[in-house]
Structure 1
């Protein structure tokens, strides 16, 4: 039996993006056992995945990595696949002392793009780069896209939010993002919602998005505020039933792609050239990219900032609300 340990420590979107690798390994290799090591905070993303035999976690306060690695040494893995490639993953590989296949994060290419706007990135999605990492195992892309598995107990009754959701189609607008420069200002989201008066719009976000959601919901009674009310899986269960999902460059954009939802993808300081745009099967729903491609200051970061380094935030402020609305209506009209 082969026993493989995969490493991807964070975050939500990055872990979801590894799901095709997990699935293809499990379904294409004979007699294989798949284990996954991640931070405890993100373990719930993987717990319901039927292609993973065991999830291992670490936490700096309750489960230090050094302690977890000692337990992993007893597992007798035959291969380690490092899809994170940082100092911690190097430590795990060194301590286990087994054959390791490591993902190339292309940090130099990302640095050239953010600092000098020199594009040396491959025209390849990060999922395809993940799959290239395990090519020597004769693993092939099955073109089934991403996976996200919602436990049955987390599939919420939509009438908890609004009775109208039982018999009307609706849009999900994921208003949050970990970094401010990835988020549309609340005033622009409100404007977009006002331009869609006939469509039910459910706002998805965390507790930190409640203030913005309170501004946005004044756009009209078609806006239903679900921010900060549900856990990750429960929020995903709402996304799973949306007719279209509007999302920034965030983990929920990738969850929406995994749930095979049509997506309007809004980009601020980051760019699709990093290879992390929505990843959908070739016969699946479509996505639309909304960005300001002519700004010479984009991308200013591969992740994001708490505020615009230039002070103008033109990457979001110059986006046309009508263009976003048109993209949403086009999906609604053709699905």
Structure 2
């Protein structure tokens, strides 16, 4: 495919999905080193791909605002850019229609949904694989041999410096743990009281804590922080952007979190993850994937109950999260860091 000069990759899903797409971006650039690669995302996730050396131009599609207007505006721009190839890791009918109407001659995406009718190259969606492997299958269909799963985020020295300044109050602690207790989905959250109990136990050791979250999660993080007055806790929720949060996580020894965007940030900066999975399961393909990562979950017939979680437990018992015991998580951390 030497005639491929301009490539468009479209990923308009959540932050975690964008991070999981970074190996595909690297793989496509490896297969087409002389082609220009543009990436289309939503404005809320564009920070994640800033500084990525494989991307020529980062485009945004503001589908959460005036979707019809944004569609028309984006379509006009894509037509002007005259791409030779499009890749669509997100199985969305909207974006499939977008690249089809943009008259991009080669369009690669997953089979199995109505959106695949808009593609010229259809790749099987293997439900047994990690999502990163599925994404890499798209590149494989185009001849790429690159199969490294490691996700990546490119941080600047300034972001590293800011993380160091944020974590200055923890400088005398031998172990620094980041906690991300929030989630867009209520049922994906391990109870705040469990986070409080866990931090209370860990505070008896030489451990410092930093809380990670969005501005919407600042109240949750303040509640946790104020409930353990004897611990050294820094609350960064709402005070950093995505890359600054990633830099803070990178400077910590591990991240304790729910199944959320911070989990994927930690994988991308290669910080160990201890994650709580309730309504979702590892088999969906979105679990942390590095060798030292740990997923805490319970064996229940009602799991999984949804692809993303929800506002309340369908069974009204919430055992998938309540049955994950604080002492078990505490024991893993004590052993992992040889806390005394």
TM-score (norm 2): 0.87
Query: Which residues of structure 2 form unaligned runs of 5+?
Result: 115-124
Structure 1 contact 121–273 (Cα < 8 Å) conserved: no
Alignment pair present for 1:251 and 2:254: no
Structure 2 contact 212–262 (Cα < 8 Å) conserved: no
Alignment pair present for 1:222 and 2:222: no
Paired with 1:175 and 1:323, the residues of 2 have a C-alpha distance of 17
Alignment partner, residue 94 of structure 1: 100
Alignment pair present for 1:185 and 2:188: no
Alignment partner, residue 111 of structure 1: none
- Describe the superposition over 1:277-297 as per-residue Cα deviations: whole angstroms up to 9, x where unpaired: 1133xxxx51111001x2111
Aligned residues: 317
Structure 2 contact 183–258 (Cα < 8 Å) conserved: yes
Paired with 1:313 and 1:93, the residues of 2 have a C-alpha distance of 41
The alpha carbon displacement at 1:93 in A equals: 2.1
Paired with 1:47 and 1:222, the residues of 2 have a C-alpha distance of 32
- Alpha-carbon distance change, 122 to 182 in structure 1, aligned in 2, over 3 angstroms: same
Paired with 1:136 and 1:87, the residues of 2 have a C-alpha distance of 21
Within the candidate set 30, 37, 41, 2:40 is matched to 37
The alpha carbon displacement at 1:194 in A equals: 1.1
Paired with 1:161 and 1:300, the residues of 2 have a C-alpha distance of 38
Structure 1 contact 146–279 (Cα < 8 Å) conserved: no
Alignment pair present for 1:127 and 2:132: yes
The alpha carbon displacement at 1:166 in A equals: 6.4
Structure 1 contact 161–226 (Cα < 8 Å) conserved: no
Alignment pair present for 1:141 and 2:151: no
The alpha carbon displacement at 1:245 in A equals: 1.0
- Alpha-carbon distance change, 202 to 161 in structure 1, aligned in 2, over 3 angstroms: same
Structure 1 segment 50-69 matched on structure 2, within 5 A: 50-59=53-62, 60-61=65-66, 64-69=70-75
Paired with 1:241 and 1:158, the residues of 2 have a C-alpha distance of 8
Within the candidate set 167, 171, 176, 2:177 is matched to 171
The alpha carbon displacement at 1:61 in A equals: 4.1
Structure 1 segment 8-23 matched on structure 2, within 5 A: 8-23=11-26
Alpha-carbon RMSD across the aligned residues, in angstroms, is: 2.3
Within the candidate set 312, 330, 335, 1:307 is matched to 312
Paired with 1:74 and 1:141, the residues of 2 have a C-alpha distance of 30
Larger mean Cα displacement after TM superposition, 256-265 or 90-99: 90-99
The alpha carbon displacement at 1:162 in A equals: 4.4
- State the secondary structure of the residue aligned to 1:330: helix
Larger mean Cα displacement after TM superposition, 322-331 or 83-92: 322-331
- State the secondary structure of the residue aligned to 1:141: coil
- Alpha-carbon distance change, 105 to 301 in structure 1, aligned in 2, over 3 angstroms: farther
Structure 1 contact 244–328 (Cα < 8 Å) conserved: no
Alignment partner, residue 196 of structure 1: 202
- Alpha-carbon distance change, 201 to 144 in structure 1, aligned in 2, over 3 angstroms: same
Structure 2 contact 173–208 (Cα < 8 Å) conserved: no
- Alpha-carbon distance change, 3 to 166 in structure 1, aligned in 2, over 3 angstroms: farther
The alpha carbon displacement at 1:160 in A equals: 3.7
Alignment pair present for 1:331 and 2:336: yes
- Describe the superposition over 1:169-219 as per-residue Cα deviations: whole angstroms up to 9, x where unpaired: 301111111111111111010011111122111111112222222232222
Alignment pair present for 1:286 and 2:296: no
Within the candidate set 205, 208, 213, 2:213 is matched to 205
Query: Which residues of structure 1 form unaligned runs of 5+?
Result: 108-119
Alignment partner, residue 119 of structure 2: none
The alpha carbon displacement at 1:305 in A equals: 0.6
- Describe the superposition over 1:117-175 as per-residue Cα deviations: whole angstroms up to 9, x where unpaired: xxx97331010011112212221234260011223333314344542336643011111
Alignment partner, residue 72 of structure 1: 78
- State the secondary structure of the residue aligned to 1:137: coil
